[in-house]
Amino acid sequence: MQSGWRFGTLRNIPLRIDPSWLYIVGLITVSDAVAFAPRYGLALGTLAGLAMALLLFGSVLLHELGHSVVAQSQGITVNSITLFFFGGVAAIERESRTPGGLFQVAIAGPAVSFLLCLLFGLLGLLLPLDSLGATLAVNLTRINLALTLFNLIPGLPLDGGQVLKAGIWQATGSRLQGNRWAATSGKILGALGIGLGLLLLLQTGDFGSIWLALIGGFIWRSADRYETINAIQEVLVELVAADAMNPADFWARAGNNTRLSLGRMLALPDEVTVRESLPLLDVVDQLDRERLRSLPVVSLSGSVSGTIDRGSILAIVAQRLMIAVTPAQVESARETGAFPPNLPLSAIVQTIK
């Protein structure tokens, strides 16, 4: 998530605010002002409500910064941190290369929230009991404790889902299996949140239950997106260059009447080739890394058996996943070197390379 307004930079990470953030800040300010006004007056209560909203999102920002700092320590680029309606998200360019690294990045956010819980709790003890500062500190203690516990729920996209994924990855040796189980867990938790929220709304008439349903919906949609990405990654690992390559006479059958050598038709150095057995994940990475439109595919004997390009890769992946792509999209991928938005294979490959 990199939309919204940029309001600063920390550790070379752009900080952004999504427009939806303004709604939740306004809602928190008003609700807390109503709670504080009888005790501190309308003006001070409103200022206290605004302070609570800003300190809450400051806590969320530090939570995401915890993830980001640990990711940067592993050489991973963090493109931005964005505050939005449901909290915050750090746009981390790729995953850690080991389950241990993934665990460290995942647990860093809840660890920061728990530390803030302890610090605000200590501040609340030091301030006069009936003071506005003590009230804010106690509220922020509870909020950061809730953030810690909520984010440790074992389902994607929550941090606990990443912890679960790291554990399954460590136990099975399969990153993709870890992602599959953590995404499934997230969808189950999201569905439970939606169902429980709607059930409470119907039984009690409390419109506050809508929040639980909204959060459940957000978790379910995010987990579903993780599941879709994981399915694409599995296909890219399972399929190999031989599955997607164009036959050696593809260009001639497509209308090239001159019998040029394959190397001349592709205008590539002879050494730039891929094996028939190379997974499509690595083929896409090589095409992007070398900034090539296509590559010759060679057999075990060393003879050229065909060519492979983004168009042929897009077609076979879409076919395997039963996702509709048009001939124009396939040809565009072949000619421009860019995959369509509904199958951004290059971006997906880079998340795990």
**Domain assignment present for 166:** no
- Residue 245 DSSP class: P
Whether 158 maps to a domain, the answer reads no
In the listed set 85, 120, 152, which residue is the last one of a domain according to the structure?
A: 152
When divided into structural domains, the chain yields a total of 3
295 and 314 inside one domain: yes
Question: Considering only 53-57, 69-73, 348-352, which range has the smallest mean pLDDT?
Answer: 348-352
State yes or no: pLDDT of 272 exceeds 90. Answer: no
- 196 and 277 in a single domain? The answer is no
User: What is the pLDDT, as a whole number, of residue 103?
Assistant: 98
- Please report whether residue 164 resides in a domain: no
Does 160 reside within a domain? no
**Peptide bond between residue 14 and the one before it cis (omega within 30 degrees of 0):** no
pLDDT (tens digit per residue) in 125-174: 999 988 889 999 999 999 999 999 999 999 999 999 999 999 999 999 99
Q: Count of H helices and E strands in the chain?
A: 14, 8
Q: Is 109 inside a domain boundary?
A: yes
pLDDT above 90 coverage of the chain, percent: 68
The rounded percent of the chain whose pLDDT value lies above 70 is: 92
Question: What is the C-alpha separation between 35 and 58, in angstroms, rounded?
Answer: 21
Are 178 and 267 contained in the same domain?
Answer: no
Q: Which of 88-102, 193-207, 210-224 has the lowest mean pLDDT?
A: 193-207
Domain with residue 314: its CATH number is 3.90.1280.20
pLDDT at 42: 86
pTM score above 0.75: yes
List Cα–Cα distances, 163 to 74, 156, 158, in angstroms. 17, 9, 9
Per the domain annotation, does 159 fall within a domain?
no
In terms of domains, do 42 and 145 share one?
A: yes
Domain co-membership, 9 together with 123: yes
Query: 224: domain range?
Result: 173-233
Is residue 35 domain-resident? yes
Q: DSSP characters for 197-239?
A: HHHHHHHH--TTHHHHHHHHHHHHHHHHHHHHHHHHHHHHHH-
State both tokens at 191: 């569905």
Judge whether residue 264 has pLDDT over 50. no
Residue 210 has pLDDT above 50, yes or no: yes
Together in a domain, 251 and 338: yes
- Do 192 and 289 fall within a single domain? no
- Assess if residue 161 is contained within a domain: no
**Average pLDDT of the residues in 47-55:** 92
- As annotated, the active-site residues are 64
